[in-house]
Each structure stands twice: as structure tokens, then as C-alpha cells.
């Protein structure tokens, strides 16, 4: 029988399937790499906030008060700035801005009890401390 044109279309279909599979795998690799990069930046900013939280606790125990102060803490991967915002019901509200040297920024708000000199409320995110 006449089967001369049978092999070429099959080869084209197999090549198309292989190219689609390889393209999908490359896309998945790029997406996973981007996700990992974002997670590393998130963890670095998170560690900056936790280091600043511990340093504020230490400053409170040493000095006793942070009222109307602007504090800055520098670390290996970035810088944290603590700014007094307002006082209400015996609580001082501070805004914390953690910034990596690569540019990523994250904000948190901290409420400190004036009488007991300890941190009462700690909020993170873009809408905290409203």
C-alpha cells in the first residue's frame, strides 16, 4: 500500500508535543525562581521587623521611655526607622518602617503602654495603626 506520507506528520506531532512540554517546564522554572526570590525578600524584611521589635524592648528596659523620639536601627541587610505618631489612652503609637538596601519596604505599628513600659499591641501590614 501507499504509506510514503505517513511518517512526516507523526514526527511533526511528536515534535510539537515535545516543544509544548519543554516550554511549559521552562515557564514553571521561571515562576518558581521568581517566587523563591520574593520569599527571600519577605523573610529578610520580616527578620528586620523582629530584630527591631527586640531592640525596642531592650531600649524600653534600659531607658524607660520612647516618647516623641525617632529611632533608627541599622542591620546587615537593611534599616528600620521607628517614629512616634500619637498617644491615646495611655498607649504611645509608633510606626515602624523596615527597608532593605535593595528597596523592599514593610510597615508595622506598635503600641507601647506608657505606665508599664511594655509593648501591648503589634500590627503589621499596610492598613495597621489607622
pLDDT of residue 26: 98
Per-residue pLDDT of the chain (130 residues; tens, 9 = 90+): 556 677 888 999 999 999 999 999 999 999 999 999 999 988 998 898 888 888 877 877 777 666 567 888 899 989 998 888 887 777 888 888 888 888 888 888 888 876 777 778 878 775 444 4
Distance CA 24, CA 59 (A): 53
Decide: 97 and 48 in contact? Cβ < 8 Å: no
Question: Residue 1 has what pLDDT?
Answer: 53
Residue 41 carries which DSSP code? H
- Residue 92 is given by DSSP the state E
pTM exceeds 0.85 for this model: no
Residue 108's DSSP bridge partners are 96, 124
Place of cell 495611655: 90
CB-based contact 80:94 (threshold 8 Å): no
Contact by Cβ (8 Å): 49, 106: yes
Q: 90: which residues sit within 8 A by CB, 6+ positions away? A: 113, 114, 115
Amino acid at each position: 500500500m501507499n504509506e510514503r506520507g505517513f511518517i512526516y506528520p507523526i514526527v511533526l506531532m511528536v515534535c510539537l508535543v515535545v516543544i509544548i512540554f519543554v516550554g511549559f517546564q521552562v515557564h514553571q522554572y521561571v515562576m518558581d525562581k521568581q517566587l523563591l526570590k520574593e520569599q527571600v525578600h519577605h523573610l529578610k524584611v520580616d527578620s528586620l521587623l523582629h530584630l527591631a521589635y527586640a531592640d525596642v524592648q531592650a531600649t524600653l528596659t534600659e531607658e524607660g521611655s520612647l516618647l516623641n523620639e525617632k529611632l533608627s536601627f541599622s542591620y546587615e541587610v537593611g534599616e528600620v526607622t521607628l517614629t512616634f505618631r500619637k498617644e491615646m489612652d495611655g498607649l504611645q503609637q509608633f510606626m515602624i518602617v523596615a527597608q532593605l538596601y535593595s528597596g523592599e519596604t514593610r510597615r508595622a505599628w506598635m503600641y507601647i503602654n506608657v505606665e508599664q513600659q511594655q509593648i501591648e499591641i503589634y500590627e503589621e501590614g499596610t492598613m495597621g495603626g489607622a
